[in-house]
A and B are shown apart, each in its own frame.
Chain A
């Protein structure tokens, strides 16, 4: 027996679990409620800075009628996917070992494989794809480039990847095909921020920031609302940092108050700000 393309398509169509194109009364009610909630309660992106930057914000759904968790992503002048790094970890135990200053570590094959195994694409990550690689206490974090200017971020503890942001961009591209978004001027940085609330109270919140760093940038530092100062890893024209928070944090409580970076001449610059 041979199947025509039409037969195959029709048989696949029979598997569609949602074939009905019209909305039910309940769907229409949810449509109206959602639109109202989105357009009246969503945090707006700051627009006063013309500099190219991206921001991703996670917000627990206190504003939601259904008290749902929501992640808000803000993008300004950016057509590409924000390398949001959102993950939840236990707020106790090993998380206590976190340090605000990272130690650079070589990206081990075991860690790269752990990230690849946990990713949606089962990517075979290469050393060349790793832009930054650092350790903070028991946690090792890596930012990966892919073949289309996206980045993925992965944190490993023990032999397991605990969370991966943009896992679909964990690179399977050969080293020669890796691409980064355009570099900023030598004395500038670009900034991305991500955060996601865990659906469970037993987990905390992790926030990360990353971006491109100009050739003259030697360090990036983030001053958080709660007084913590987090040093970023800077490598390969990129930078990244992450820090733990708690589920009780306000929507933007752990956004950096101030992002600064230092250039080779020793001058400290203000980077793109978040949270107003």
Chain B
């Protein structure tokens, strides 16, 4: 027998709050994160009688819709743009190589389309399987798998090109290592 709706909601809330928070932090402006998370769980509370037994993909999808619906028309196409981590070196010996790798993948990732970035983020950051990720973005599993394969192929191609602009340019210029990179 399934749990009563209120109990199911509370269990889901405590179990998945951190994941939803991270999902939103990866995509939304920091000032909007708390509001979006609150609104996502407000929707879940109101719909608790029909909340799926495994609600995490549904919560991601709801958070995604909240972000889409919150964006003005002019910003909608950027509402799902993922953010990229700053680089914070920890150990001196590998710092330069690590920064190079980070700059390379960061530069390559930034050239991908928002749709490519989204499927890659769902795969690696949210660690979703194809079925769940497809549910989040509202497409078929086959479509998601195809999009993911193509996105990975495009990213790999960018990273294996002979010329890697950021690292090469920095090496050529002998520029000092920045301590952090701005998060866009």
Residues of A within 8 A of B (CB): 1-3, 5, 8-9, 11-23, 27, 30-31, 34-35, 37-39, 42-45, 61, 64, 66, 68-79, 81, 84, 86-88, 118-120, 122, 148, 150, 160-169, 196, 199
Residue numbers in B under 8 Å from A75 (CB-CB): 46-47, 50
CA distance A271 to B46 in the complex (A): 22
Cβ–Cβ < 8 Å partners of A196 in chain B: 69-70
The reply on B130 being an interface residue by CB < 8 A is: no
Q: Show the binding face of B for A, using Cβ within 8 Å.
A: 6, 10, 13-14, 17-18, 21-22, 25-26, 34-35, 37-39, 41-43, 45-47, 49-50, 64-66, 68-70, 72-74, 76-77, 79-80, 82-86, 101-102, 104-106, 109, 120, 124-125, 137-138, 152, 155-156, 159-160, 183
Q: What total of A-B pairs shows CB separation below 8 Å?
A: 161
Closest to B161 in A: A1
Partner of B38, one of A34, A44, A87: A34
Residue of A nearest to B137 (CB): A168
Q: Which of B37, B73, B137, B159 sits near A164, CB closer than 8 Å?
A: B73
Contacts of B105 in A (CB 8 A): 11-12, 14-15
Dominant secondary structure at the B interface: helix
Could you tell me if B26 and A169 are in contact, using CB atoms closer than 8 angstroms?
no
Q: Which of B22, B34, B69, B82 contacts A71 (CB 8 A)?
A: B69
Q: Do A16 and B43 contact each other (CB < 8 Å), given the known contacts A21-B18, A68-B34, A78-B50?
A: no
- CB neighbours of B72 from chain A (8 A): 88, 163
A179, chain B: closest CB distance, angstroms? 13
CA distance A104 to B131 in the complex (A): 41
A43, A66, A71, A76 — most chain B CB neighbours (10 Å): A71
A165 to B72: give the CA distance in the assembly, Å: 11
Known pairs A15-B85, A72-B46, A150-B138; A86 contacts B69 (CB<8 A):
yes
A168 surroundings in chain B (CB, below 8 A): 64-65, 68, 137-138
Instruction: Determine if B73 and A79 form an interchain contact, defined as CB atoms under 8 angstroms apart.
Output: no
State how many angstroms separate the Cβ of B96 from the closest Cβ of chain A. 15
**Closest Cβ–Cβ distance, residue A186 to chain B (whole Å):** 27
Determine how close the nearest CB of chain B comes to the CB of A141; give it in whole angstroms. Answer: 14
Q: Is the CB of B26 within 8 A of A18?
A: yes
